[in-house]
Amino acid sequence: MMNVVELEKLTREACGIIASVGEFIRGEIGKVGADMVEEKSLHSLVSYVDRGAEERLVRELGRLLPGATFLTEEETVETMQSPTQWIIDPLDGTTNFLHQLPVFAISVALQEEGQTVLGIVLEINRSELFYAWQGGGAYLNGKPIRVTATTDLENALLATGFPYYDYDQIANYLEALSVFMQVTRGIRRMGSAAVDLAYVACGRFDAFFEYSLHAWDVAAGALLVQEAGGHVSDFSGGDNYLFGGEIIASNLGVYNDVLRVLSESF
């Protein structure tokens, strides 16, 4: 396992790569025509921008850690298992990007021996670079960030993501949503889980929950929240949030209340 000093150096080098790929994505805003967009599956869109960004990330991050493998959303590189693996979403919020709605991001995490040790989220429109490494805290554009100190739901602002392809649990989701609508300050749906998690980490949201997400959606942001003093779990309070398809990310003050509502609903 890399030590804290090695992780910090690697994180900063990876941040430079991600910032460069962010410039590529920013330069393509408004240039993607309808005939350039594919539907991979129900409501899951992809364009040459997603794939081009992923190829750049894989190439440059591969040079940083030649022995590492990759788990990526667009599968531009073969998924292989190894002790060290990059987990990449080259454009989280593709639908927002295609509609020129200003919430989309690059999400990159690194795992060693099954532990996430590095997480970076670049929100492209605001040029906000969130990053963290294991044991080193979480940062936004060089400044330390922390989760909120809110202790009751009535003062909490929550974030979520609407189901867009997996509707098997929609009744449970709507039940939880109904409760949260009535007992919180409000609920927001930004359209990018990576951004939602980064916003929990820096205190803009008090908590975030969603189901049917993938590892590349949440790996980086989950580490941001943890290193910013928050807690991350699945809807049962366990730690199967990376591959289990459900996640709660929260400050410590409202986590138990959010968990209670979701565990009762689901």
Q: What is the pLDDT of residue 224?
A: 99
Cα–Cα distance measured from residue 213 to residue 245, given in angstroms and rounded to the nearest whole number: 5
Q: List the Cα angle 75/63/25 in 5-degree steps.
A: 55
The token duo for 173 is 């989701």
Residue where one domain finishes, among candidates 144, 161, 179: 144
- Choose the final residue of a domain: 99, 127, 144: 144
Please write the tens of the pLDDT for every residue from 38-60: 887 656 678 899 999 999 999 99
pLDDT(63) > 70: yes
Segment 221-231, tens digit of pLDDT: 999 999 999 99
User: How far is the C-alpha of 79 from the C-alpha of 82, rounded, in Å?
Assistant: 10
Are 188 and 104 part of one and the same domain?
Answer: no
Is there a single domain that holds both residue 117 and residue 14? yes
Q: Are residues 100 and 64 in the same domain?
A: yes
159 and 139 together in one domain: no
Q: Assess whether 134 and 167 both reside in one domain.
A: no
Identify whether residues 122 and 211 lie together within a single domain.
no
Same domain, 30 and 117: yes
CA distance 183 to 20: 42
pLDDT in tens, 194-203: 999 999 999 9
Task: Give all strands (DSSP E) within the chain, no chain letters.
Answer: 38-41, 44-46, 69-72, 84-92, 105-112, 115-123, 128-133, 138-140, 143-144, 157-160, 186-188, 207-211, 231-233, 246-250
pLDDT value at residue 42? 56
pTM tops 0.85, yes or no: yes
Is 177 found in the same domain as 64? no
Query: The CATH number of the domain where 222 resides is what?
Result: 3.40.190.80
Residue 14 φ/ψ region, left for φ over 0, alpha for ψ in the -120 to 50 degree band, beta for the rest: alpha
- Retrieve residue 165's tokens: 């392809």
Which tokens in the block code for residue 147?
């989760």
pLDDT tens digits along 93-134: 999 999 999 999 999 999 999 999 999 999 999 999 999 999
Query: Which of 94, 121, 144 is the last residue before a domain boundary?
Result: 144
For the residues 140-157, what does the mean pLDDT come to? 98
Mean pLDDT computed over 65-83: 92
Q: What does the alpha-carbon distance between residue 117 and residue 63 come to, in Å, rounded to a whole number? A: 18
> pLDDT tens-digit profile of 163-214?
877 888 999 999 999 999 999 999 999 999 999 999 999 999 999 999 999 9
State which residues form the domain around 191. Answer: 153-265
pLDDT at 41: 66
